[in-house]
């Protein structure tokens, strides 16, 4: 068996710590280093991982031992780090979005293409066992031709206002996962998008220039339709549901709970509360997506969630923003799903 792939993690926030922890579980990987401008955070994430800690992510790129980097830093640093990692010949896993500006994202991905390195975007829901099974059954034709996809994605509570101010807004921060999943499940590009939004949860979110509740309607090139609803507040827990309706049937995924036990008595029926947040609901998917990234490096395979998929999702999120602002449907022109980004 070949040696494990040495990996460096850039960013020791919540998602960076999660990926660092998961890399310890993956047989084909070795966590080599963690970088964060807050050295104490990097050192804390490295404890028990056998990795070194540094304040400067550039040190990871200068390390000839490290073959890949996992980019978990703030969004406005992603494109620069991708370009640096590509120049250093490091394979790249980048959390979404690649950038808040689609042209800047394309520039970074062209650098990766020119260098010949693999790049995978952190659309972890593609790797969720249940959602992955739905995608597999759709591809096999088990429900015929997909005609309608419905996605509900609702957080139990909004993130801090300071985070929202730099997140790019609900569409780029939250809906982007659902936009990617809709496109992934239908297997086609979106032709038209219409978004509506409101501030129903927290007035501070509105003062920060964002919305907290939204619906997005999609029409794909093949005529299939998509409906996404998002909310920053679901008092009953992290609500994640998907339905794909086709010419020969329907596929659904509901909300998992810590146990499948239901209590029936004179007061009615009760069961476990929904999981608290995405780290719990999608815990398995984060491990599987990192395993897939390492496997791409080891066998030279194209990632399931490519850089182009990342660009497409940004385009859709920005089109949703434009639709909301202009209060009209927005037409999109997109080429084939697997096109290259060009020279």
User: 156, 235 in Cβ contact below 8 A?
Assistant: yes
- 51 and 139 both lie in a single domain: no
* Average pLDDT estimate for 55-83: 97
Domain presence at residue 326? yes
Number of domains in the chain: 2
Gap between the Cα atoms of 52 and 314, Å rounded = 34
pLDDT digits over 35-53, tens only?
999 999 999 999 877 899 9
Tell me what pLDDT residue 335 has.
56
Q: What is the pTM of this model?
A: 0.94
What percentage of the chain reaches a pLDDT higher than 70? 97
Confidence of residue 102 (pLDDT cuts 50, 70, 90): very high
- 95 and 135 both lie in a single domain: no
Tell me what pLDDT residue 342 has.
45
* Average pLDDT estimate for 150-157: 97
- 49 and 166 both lie in a single domain: no
* Average pLDDT estimate for 225-253: 98
Q: Chain-wide mean pLDDT for the chain?
A: 95
Question: Any idea what the CATH number is for the domain that residue 36 is in?
Answer: 3.40.50.720
* Average pLDDT estimate for 120-129: 98
User: Dihedral sign, CA of 200, 206, 207, 210?
Assistant: positive
- 131 and 20 both lie in a single domain: no
Where a domain ends, among 53, 82, 117?
A: 117
What percentage of the chain reaches a pLDDT higher than 90? 92
- 107 and 154 both lie in a single domain: no
Tell me what pLDDT residue 180 has.
98
* Average pLDDT estimate for 140-149: 98
Tell me what pLDDT residue 49 has.
74
Domain presence at residue 49? yes
Is residue 34 pLDDT above 70, yes or no? yes
Question: Any idea what the CATH number is for the domain that residue 160 is in?
Answer: 3.30.360.10
pLDDT digits over 199-215, tens only?
999 999 999 999 999 99
* Average pLDDT estimate for 255-281: 94
Domain presence at residue 36? yes
Where a domain ends, among 57, 91, 117?
A: 117
Confidence of residue 1 (pLDDT cuts 50, 70, 90): very low
- 48 and 151 both lie in a single domain: no
Sheet holding 330-331, edge to edge: 249-253, 239-246, 146-154, 225-231, 213-220, 190-198, 330-331
Confidence of residue 165 (pLDDT cuts 50, 70, 90): confident
Is residue 301 pLDDT above 70, yes or no? yes
Write the CA distances from 163 to 40, 208, 316, 324, integer angstroms.
Answer: 21, 10, 22, 21
CA count, 13 A, side-chain hemisphere, 29: 31
More confident: 340 or 113: 113
Tell me what pLDDT residue 47 has.
87
What is the domain extent for residue 168? 125-277+307-331
- 79 and 131 both lie in a single domain: no
User: 238, 231 in Cβ contact below 8 A?
Assistant: no
- 148 and 98 both lie in a single domain: no
Gap between the Cα atoms of 98 and 324, Å rounded = 22
Q: Which residues lie closer than 8 Å to 220 by C-beta, 6 or more apart?
A: 186, 188, 189, 190, 191, 226
Where a domain ends, among 117, 147, 180?
A: 117
Confidence of residue 334 (pLDDT cuts 50, 70, 90): low
């Amino acid at each position: 068996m070949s040696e494990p792939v040495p990996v460096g993690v850039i960013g020791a926030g919540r998602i960076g710590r999660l990926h660092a922890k998961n890399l310890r579980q993956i047989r084909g990987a070795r966590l080599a280093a963690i970088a964060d401008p807050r050295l104490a955070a990097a050192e804390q994430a490295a404890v028990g991982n056998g990795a070194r800690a540094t304040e400067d992510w550039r040190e990871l790129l200068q390390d000839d031992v490290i073959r890949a980097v996992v980019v978990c830093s703030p969004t406005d640093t992603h494109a620069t780090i991708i370009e640096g990692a590509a120049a250093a010949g490091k394979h790249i896993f980048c959390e979404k979005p690649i950038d808040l500006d689609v042209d800047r994202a394309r520039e970074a991905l062209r650098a990766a293409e020119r260098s010949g390195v693999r790049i995978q975007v952190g659309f972890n829901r593609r790797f969720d066992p249940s959602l992955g099974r739905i995608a597999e059954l759709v591809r096999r034709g088990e429900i015929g031709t997909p005609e309608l996809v419905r996605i509900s994605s609702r957080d139990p509570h909004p993130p801090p206002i300071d985070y929202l101010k730099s997140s790019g807004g609900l569409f780029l921060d939250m809906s982007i996962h659902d936009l990617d999943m809709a496109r992934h499940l239908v297997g086609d590009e979106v032709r038209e998008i219409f978004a509506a939004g409101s501030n129903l949860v927290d007035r501070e979110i509105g003062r920060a220039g964002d919305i907290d509740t939204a619906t997005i309607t999609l029409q794909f090139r093949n005529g299939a339709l998509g409906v996404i609803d998002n909310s920053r507040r679901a008092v009953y827990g992290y609500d994640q549901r998907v339905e794909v309706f086709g010419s020969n049937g329907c596929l659904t995924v509901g909300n998992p709970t810590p146990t499948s036990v239901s209590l029936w008595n004179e007061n009615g029926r009760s069961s476990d509360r929904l999981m608290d947040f995405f780290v719990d609901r999608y815990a398995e998917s984060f491990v599987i997506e990192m395993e897939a990234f390492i496997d791409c490096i080891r066998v030279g395979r194209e990632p399931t969630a490519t850089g182009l998929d990342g660009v497409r999702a940004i385009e859709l999120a920005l089109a949703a923003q434009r639709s909301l602002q202009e209060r009209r449907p927005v037409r999109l022109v997109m080429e084939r799903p697997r096109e290259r980004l060009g020279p």
